[in-house]
Amino acid sequence: MAQWQSSRGMTLARQLLAKLAGSAQVDEGAFFRDLWQYLLEAGLLRHVTLTGQRGNALPNTSGTAQVDADRFLLSAQSGLWRCLDCRRSYARPMPRNLCIRWRCNGQVVRAEEDGDDYDLRVLDVPFAMLRSREHSAQIPQDERERIERKFKSGHDEINTLVATPTLELGVDIGALDGVLMRNVPPAPANYWQRAGRAGRRHRMAVNLTYARPASHDRAYFDDPQKLLLGRIDPPSFNLKNDLMVRKHARAVVLSELRRLRVDSTLSQELRTRVQAALDQCFPPLVKTWLFDGQGNVRTEVYDVNGLAEVIMTHRETLTASVQRVFASQWPHADSGAVAPELLALAVDRMAADLGVVVRALRRRLQWALDQQARLSTAKQQKGALDPDEEALERRCSRLIRRLKGTENRGRSDSEGVDDTETFGVLALEGYLPGYGLDVGTIAVTHLPPPRGNLVDLQQWSLRRANGLALREHVPGNLVYANNHRFAPRFFQPQPEGTEVFQVDPVAEAVSHAGVPGGMATLAAGQLVAMPVCDVDLAHASTISDDEDFRFQLGVTVFGYEQ
């Protein structure tokens, strides 16, 4: 509240009137009464009653008026007027170019806008906010597909993708018109694949490559033609990969068994045995491997010996079928990977490998049951679980329901692999061929914090190959995924036990302890090792702008040739 006149001395209104009047004589009382009456009649001021917290009128405030905000409008203004003395700025010129600030006698002059002022440029120059999302292998496949659809839709919900090589091959972004590479790609093929993501629809795009101080980037920066005109080799992969060969060999055996069950050249008894083995060992849902007909957890490991018996009965036919498929399609240069003895071994071990998958699923189920039992005991002792224990209990319940096939799949899960169907699970576990080359047998679960306001962060799981999991999920390391940092903290060791290895850090060699012909150097020592297992990544923090480099724990990985 401010008053225009006071018997105790000067007010801001009286001072302003004196500045405007100059040397002229003005009747202050008559001027303020006429001005007050005019503002009331024009509706710029209106009488109000000021009340306190209890709704009662405040004392000594009778006759108070306030500015009616509904009678005022905001209009765009260019430039400003600034006092030469106090530097106060005004949106419009003042009467007689006088500064109306208290006890300031300065003059107001026009000042042009600063062309480098960030706030003014934001208001005047058209711009688009960057709404970015991560697109990497750390994001589940279904989530990546949703991000791609939103990005290609043309809406502003997502207009920037921060991508790894997952977006380099085989993804049509449509109207993408710009690509920024944070470093020089390793090869010309990588450069053209990444640059080729843009301009596919309108045939026009801008590609900007940032060259780091590293020697690789500097070499191509000094001579860009080496990158632009370099040799481009077609994508290839190792056809001597025995894991890939065994996956496809199992798929061929399954196809041949399905043919044998309706083969008229076989007796009815043999066809019935083949059908029974397929129904027993490959049920529609994986819950048959883990739960009995009443829905109870099986007390013993599910028996898949029926598959082994059928394979031994028709071994010659199955082996010949597998060899025929690989002999007709496999390149001669890589024929050593599909030698007849190796293919026959893959056929013979098919039932045993299926048992490994069944035991892995049973191990995950048993882990969830053990955790539930432990949490139930803790709840009886403490009366209530801690937030992190409640989150673990919910996760175990979801895992059990998913393995049992009772977990409801939402609309967001309508696409992709159903981890309750047998053949989908076999592909995820590496038993059968899958579409993802980076899919492995190690289940990695990213856990959100038990409490907080991270509503956009939900639990999700990924699969990792053994070699990648060994490097990424070392205790003490940090994994960066989906704008957050996670720490490998909860491991689920396999019940097969541990192994003892002889390790020589000087020679960077490793071998099984007790094997004849092993290392016998002074630097060699024995280490007890456990197999790579499923891991839960606990939420550590969000990724902040203060972190210039990602944290990666330095480790040394030794290997030996099998």
Domain borders along the chain are 12-123, 132-228, 239-437, 439-496+531-562
Q: Are 509 and 528 in contact (CB under 8 A)?
A: no
How far is it, in rounded angstroms, from Cα 445 to Cα 459? 7
Q: What is the pLDDT at residue 345? A: 92
Per-residue pLDDT, 272: 92
Q: How far is CA 154 from CA 69, 150, 171, in A?
A: 40, 7, 16
Angstrom distance (rounded) from CA 244 to CA 435: 12
- E strand intervals along 402-507: 442-446, 460-464, 479-481, 484-492, 499-504
Helix, strand, coil fractions of the chain, as percent rounded to 5: 40, 15, 45
Contacts of 521 (CB under 8 A, 6+ apart): 504, 506, 507
Contact 209, 192 (CB under 8 A): no
Q: Side chain identity at 69, as an amino acid letter? A: A
Specify the pLDDT at position 308. 92
What is the pTM for the complete model shown? 0.62
**∠ at Cα 494 (489, 499), nearest 5°?**
105
Neighbours of 298 (CB within 10 A): 14
Which stretch of DSSP H or E encloses residue 46? strand 45-47
Residues of the chain where predicted confidence (pLDDT) is lower than 70: 1-2, 168-172, 174, 201-202, 408-418, 435-440, 450-457, 495-497, 515-523, 562
Q: What confidence score (pLDDT) does residue 546 get?
A: 76
Collect all residues with Cβ–Cβ distance below 8 Å to 244 and sequence separation of at least 6. 433
Residue of 464, 399, 405, 434 whose CA lies nearest to 140: 464
- Tell me if 164 sits within 8 A of 181, measured CB to CB: no
Contact 124, 101 (CB under 8 A): no
- CB count within 10 Å of CB 182 equals 9
Q: Which helix (H) or strand (E) holds 67?
A: strand 65-67
Distance CA 426, CA 387 (A): 34
Q: Domain 132-228 belongs to what architecture?
A: 3-Layer(aba) Sandwich (3.40)
Give the SS3 label for residue 531.
Answer: coil
DSSP string for 319-378: HHHHHHHHHHHS-GGGGGGG-HHHHHHHHHTHHHHHHHHHHHHHHHHHHHHHHHHHHHHH
Find tokens 């711009």 and name the residue: 127
Cα end-to-end distance, the chain, whole Å: 88
pLDDT tens profile 230-277: 888 877 777 888 888 899 999 999 999 999 988 888 889 998 999 999
Q: How many residues does the chain have?
A: 562
* Residues 14, 16, 19: CA angle, nearest 5 degrees: 110
Q: Which is it for strands 442-446 and 534-542: parallel, antiparallel or unpaired?
A: parallel
> Residue 139 burial (CB < 10 Å; 0-12/13-18/19+)?
buried
Structure token pair of residue 424:
């989908």
**What pLDDT is attached to residue 174?**
65
Angle at 293 between CA 289 and CA 299, to 5 degrees: 55
pLDDT number for residue 171: 64
pLDDT at 446: 78
What lies within 8 Å, CB to CB, of 71 at 6+ separation is: 43, 44
CA distances from 511 to 55, 474, 528, 530 (A): 86, 21, 12, 14
Query: Which pLDDT score, from 0 to 100, does residue 416 have?
Result: 47
> What residues contact residue 124 under an 8 Å CB cut-off, 6+ apart?
none
Tens of pLDDT, residue by residue over 280-322, are 999 999 999 999 988 899 999 999 999 999 999 999 999 999 9
Q: Which residue in the block uniquely carries the two structure tokens 């001579």?
A: 223
From 445, 444, 443, 447, select the one nearest 538 (Cα to Cα).
Answer: 447
Residue 471, strand partner residues: none
